[in-house]
Each structure stands twice: as structure tokens, then as C-alpha cells.
């Protein structure tokens, strides 16, 4: 699928006098920090789309190698640029809306749902003796009948 079949060999022949065998590099290498893993829990593993996953040719027919390589390059470039453009335009407003939604849901849960459950449990503890008396009354009435 568009892979070049030719193999080329490249050799560099140098004399021992020209070759510097020192282990120390001439310029100090800068330490490049590794990119942080933005998906450590692998939540979006289904979104890792490659060119071959989207565009494929059957084994019986193939386009020219240059067409395959150019279409791969255009696909990767369009995916990269469109993702960057959409995240630039939409990321900040969507995170603002998600923050508001999370704040509202948290407020409702803390001040209404938990409060109502606490009040119901307090009411149940207050009404427990009443329910106990009603239960005893029901047992006594069932024995009398």
C-alpha cells in the first residue's frame, strides 16, 4: 500500500585521523522534558485514528505510490490543523460552560439533595417511636380478632 520497494545503501568511509573518538559531545545536549501524558487513563483510546484506518485500498488495486504518500500527508495535515483550530475556538468556551454546569450540579447536590436526605433521616428518627406504637397497636388488634 504505497510503500517503496527499493532499498538503497549509504556508506560513509572515514579515516581514523579524521574521526574524533571522544565520548564527550562538543556541545552540551539540552534535556528535553517528555511530553506529559494527557490521557493517562486511556479514556480516548478509540480516537487514535491513523490514515490506514480511514482510507484503505484493496490488495487487487493500488494507486500510484506518490498519490498514496501525498494523500497520507494531506490527511495528517488536515487532521492536525483542524484539531488545533477547533480546540482553539471551542476549548475555552466549552470548559467555561462545563465549569458552570458542574458548579450548579454540585450546589444542587450539596444544598438540596443532601439536605433533604438529612431531614428525612431526622424525621424518621423522630417518628420511630410513633411507628413502634402503631405496630404494637396493630399486633394487639390482630390478637383480639
CA–CA separation, 69 vs 75, rounded Å? 10
**Average per-residue pLDDT for the chain:** 76
Residue 96: predicted pLDDT: 95
Residue 98: predicted pLDDT: 94
For residue 1, count CB atoms less than 10 angstroms from its CB and return exposed for 0-12, middle for 13-18, buried for 19 or more.
Answer: middle
pTM across the whole model: 0.43
CA–CA separation, 59 vs 30, rounded Å? 46
| Cα separation of the two ends of the chain | 90
Say whether pLDDT at 25 is over 80. Answer: no
Query: pLDDT for 101-144, tens place per residue?
Result: 999 998 888 888 777 777 777 777 777 787 778 787 788 878 77
- ∠ CA 117-121-122, rounded to 5°: 115
Average pLDDT over residues 52-77: 79
Residue 93: predicted pLDDT: 93
Report CA 111 to chain centroid distance, whole Å.
31
Amino acid at each position: 500500500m504505497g510503500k517503496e520497494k527499493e532499498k538503497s545503501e549509504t556508506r560513509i568511509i572515514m579515516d581514523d585521523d579524521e574521526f574524533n573518538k571522544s565520548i564527550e559531545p562538543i556541545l552540551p545536549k539540552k534535556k528535553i522534558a517528555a511530553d506529559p501524558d494527557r490521557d493517562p487513563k486511556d479514556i480516548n483510546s478509540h480516537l487514535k485514528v491513523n490514515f490506514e484506518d480511514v482510507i484503505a485500498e484493496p490488495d487487487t488495486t493500488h494507486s500510484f505510490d506518490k498519490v498514496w504518500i501525498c494523500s497520507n500527508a494531506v490527511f495528517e495535515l488536515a487532521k492536525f490543523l483542524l484539531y488545533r483550530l477547533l480546540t482553539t475556538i471551542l476549548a475555552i468556551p466549552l470548559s467555561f460552560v462545563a465549569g458552570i454546569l458542574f458548579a450548579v450540579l454540585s450546589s444542587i447536590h450539596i444544598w438540596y439533595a443532601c439536605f433533604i436526605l438529612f431531614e428525612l433521616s431526622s424525621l424518621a428518627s423522630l417518628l420511630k417511636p410513633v411507628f413502634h406504637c402503631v405496630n404494637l397497636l396493630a399486633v394487639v388488634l390482630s390478637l383480639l380478632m
